[in-house]
Amino acid sequence: MRYSVNQASVTELYEQLTSCTYIPPLESRVSLKQYSEKIHCNAVRFEYWDHDNILSGLCAMYTNYNNEPFGYITNVGIRDLLQGKGIATQLLAKALKYAKDKGLYFVDLEVFHTNTRAIALYKKFGFYDYKQNDDRIFMRLDILKYKPETGLSMKHNNNE
């Protein structure tokens, strides 16, 4: 078992995306083949490989360094049999430490209202809701307040 950054091939990313249960199903929203290629080419990928050297966990983040540097987490997925073992927590912590080290101001993501496990994970790291629509919550973490050594963010205050 090991963690890596940007080591997976497009094929390994595709296999990872097809092996996870997303709420709602990812393939109902995007072409998994095209999405695998896009992540491979454009995202920083934090990867978990199981004892059989199979990509079994992924946290993919796009970064933008224009004006206000920020990140956007486009995917967090763990193979079904490995869920609940803290792998997503470790991958997200690695992504947020990377964001802090690179000087990003904030990291955004969106999550479906029905994905309560993911929402709880993001809130544990200090992500807060900044917008909602009928089916999604848009969340943000102010990286300047994030403490990588603890994996926690200082409380968000809307008045700041």
pLDDT value, residue 150: 63
* Residue 68 binned pLDDT confidence (cut-offs 50, 70, 90): confident
d(CA 61, CA 47): 11
Lookup result for tokens 């940007």: 6
Give yes or no for residue 99 having a pLDDT over 90.
Answer: yes
Kindly state the average pLDDT of the residues 6-30: 94
Please state the φ and ψ torsions of residue 106, each to the nearest 5 degrees: -155, 165
* Residue 157 binned pLDDT confidence (cut-offs 50, 70, 90): very low
Q: For 111-156, what is each residue's pLDDT tens digit? A: 999 999 999 999 999 999 999 999 999 999 999 888 876 655 544 4
pLDDT value, residue 153: 58
- May I ask the CATH class of domain 2-153? alpha beta
Positive or negative, the CA dihedral 22, 28, 32, 38 is negative
Q: What percent of the chain has pLDDT over 70?
A: 92
Kindly state the average pLDDT of the residues 20-40: 94
> Strand, helix or coil at 70?
strand
Kindly state the average pLDDT of the residues 74-103: 96
Q: What percent of the chain has pLDDT over 90?
A: 84
Whether the CB-CB separation of 74 and 25 falls below 8 Å is answered with no
Instruction: Characterize the bridge pairing of strands 106-112 and 70-78.
Output: parallel
